[in-house]
Structure 1
Amino acid sequence: MDTKLVCFSCNKELTFTGLIGRREECPHCRADVHVCKNCEHYDSKVYNECRETQADVVREKDRANFCDYFSPRKGGPGTIDKAAALRAAAEALFKKS
């Protein structure tokens, strides 16, 4: 089964057959692929920048890691941040003074 994701560094679509290994690199910009910023659990607005509560703390979000919860993110790098920004704007709009 092919796995597709968009590189967090160069925003180009990547296709991998099977699991994404820890040492995989983007063929376009040579950035590591098995990183937090390419994971569906990555969210810069939550504690430890990860929505997976059982994952170990990873300090360098753009470097290869051994996280067992890594799951390739669908869509571009700004997908999560845009949703969080819209949510924050809506909460601010309906916030009581």
Structure 2
Amino acid sequence: MEVKLICFSCSKEIPVAGHIGRRDECPHCRADVHVCKNCDFYDAKVYNECRETQADVVREKDRANFCDYFTPRKGGAGGIDKKAALRAAAEALFKKS
């Protein structure tokens, strides 16, 4: 079964078939793929930024790790950069004609 994963770094689609290894990289930007920010359990609003309560604490959320609970985030949810989207909206709103 192939999963469509959106890279947290470049927001491009990464086709993933099977297991994602710790050393796998994005073919577009060479960012690590087995990272918290690409995981379905990642949530910046909860304690330790992880919804899996039994997972070990990972300090660097954008670096490869050994978490056994890693589950690839499906669809485009991982690639949305809310901060950049809000900034673009604000710039468009206050743009001089």
Structure 2 unaligned blocks of 5 or more: 83-97
User: Taking every aligned residue pair, what percent have the same amino acid on both sides?
Assistant: 76
Q: Report the number of matched residues.
A: 81
Deviation at 1:4, TM superposition (A): 1.6
Query: Secondary structure of the residue that 2:22 maps to in structure 1?
Result: coil
Partner of 1:55: 55
Deviation at 1:3, TM superposition (A): 2.0
After superposition, the C-alpha distances for 1:23-82 in whole angstroms (9 at most, x for unaligned) are 000000000000000001000000000000000000000000000000011223338x7x
Query: Secondary structure of the residue that 2:37 maps to in structure 1?
Result: helix
- Using the alignment, how far apart are the partners of 1:4 and 1:66 within structure 2? 21
Runs of 4+ in 1 over 6 A off after TM superposition: none
Query: Secondary structure of the residue that 1:48 maps to in structure 2?
Result: helix
Name the TM-score, length of structure 1 as normaliser. Answer: 0.77
Deviation at 1:12, TM superposition (A): 0.3
Structure 1 unaligned blocks of 5 or more: 82-97
RMSD: 1.7
Partner of 2:80: 78
